[in-house]
Chains A and B, each alone.
Chain A
Amino acid sequence: DAGVIQSPRHEVTEMGQEVTLRCKPISGHNSLFWYRQTMMRGLELLIYFNNNVPIDDSGMPEDRFSAKMPNASFSTLKIQPSEPRDSAVYFCASSFTPRNQPQHFGDGTRLSIL
């Protein structure tokens, strides 16, 4: 069975550019989570969706970050404009329900902003 699929795996771009990260959750999962992982801060939840609806975006760093889930099989995380401090590994995870179920992670997008 296919797991969570993220693209691209790596992204290198210059500051000020728009960055779009993509995620395809596991089929049948109703909840989708976006995380960011850095050396200094570890794994941080940015936003999560339940049944395609954003439930909690309190982890989104600032207005430069936005996320959408137009349907059950696709989500995007966009950064515009990007800054060097946004460099991190971004993970998408999905689960059957928001709680009391394991979240299954993709292999992440390693983002470098020059």
Chain B
Amino acid sequence: GESVGLHLPTLSVQEGDNSIINCAYSNSASDYFIWYKQESGKGPQFIIDIRSNMDKRQGQRVTVLLNKTVKHLSLQIAATQPGDSAVYFCAENLVGDDKIIFGKGTRLHILP
């Protein structure tokens, strides 16, 4: 099921390799960041989050890195598996604002 824009960037990774998905966020006042995974026909699924007082956070097979200086967020997936194929969205929450702003998304394609 289609879920993202026509010009969605795609990252192709060999199964078993590590994946790094990058995101440039828009507002230096953002203080909370989230990565979501969206599989075909499903809603966005929460993966991991990070607050602005941290620069790294690890989960199971995933690591999020935050570089506030250049407003950059990355998601690292270790030992990529076929089930990791999906569209990945970064999202940011501005200070004083309840709304989350979603990025355009990156499609991760796993090569056999």
Contact = CB atoms under 8 A, between A and B. Distances in A.
Interface of A: 4, 31, 37, 39-43, 45, 48, 50, 55-56, 89, 91, 93, 98-100, 102-108, 110
Contact of A99 (B2, B97, B104): B97
Contact of A105 (B32, B43, B99): B43
Contact of B4 (A42, A56, A102, A108): A42
Interface string B1-32: 11111100000000000000000000000011
SS of A interface (majority): strand
B93 A108 contact: no
Interface of B: 1-6, 31-32, 34, 36, 41-46, 49, 51, 89, 93, 97-100, 102, 104-105
Nearest to A106: B43
B104 A42 contact: yes
15 contacts: A4-B43, A37-B4, A43-B102, A45-B99, A48-B99, A56-B98, A93-B44, A98-B98, A99-B32, A99-B93, A99-B98, A102-B46, A105-B36, A105-B44, A108-B42
